[in-house]
Amino acid sequence: MPFSGYLVSIGRFNLWAVGVAGAFGCVVGSLVAYWVGMYGGRPLIERYGRYVLGLAYVGQKLGEQWNKDETLKTLFHRFDFIIGIVGALVIAWWVWRHVTQLRQEKGSRTENAQ
């Protein structure tokens, strides 16, 4: 997607076409991953996971321990929405700062041209 965004910015691709293609690719990839998990399940991950996905047995055990510990799981999920809100605010601030800077630069260029 970053390279597609670059191609959109130089005018080689259409923004809407790139967005639709990205959304379609995301949905198809998620459906494939869901299908592999549903029909292959844990035996498939244990057998081929280290070759295809880079997953190791240690990672599975850590995940199982995380799910057994109700305190950590509950604590994380109680503050999960705060992580999302803070992330959205940081991204909005970053975009606002850069858009403001670009507008100021564009304004100074048009003033210098006159």
Q: Quick one: tokens of 4?
A: 């597609």
Check pLDDT > 90 for residue 24: yes
Q: What is the pLDDT of residue 113?
A: 58
Q: Which long-range contacts (CB under 8 A, 24 or more apart) does 80-89 make?
A: none
Q: How far apart are CA 75 and CA 38, in angstroms?
A: 29
Question: Any idea which of 17-26, 32-41, 90-99 has the lowest mean pLDDT?
Answer: 32-41
10 Å Cβ neighbour count for 16? 9
* Cα 1–chain centre separation: 11
Higher pLDDT, residue 41 or 113: 41
Per-residue confidence (pLDDT) for residue 110, from 0 to 100:
62
**CB 45, CB 60: distance < 8 Å:** yes
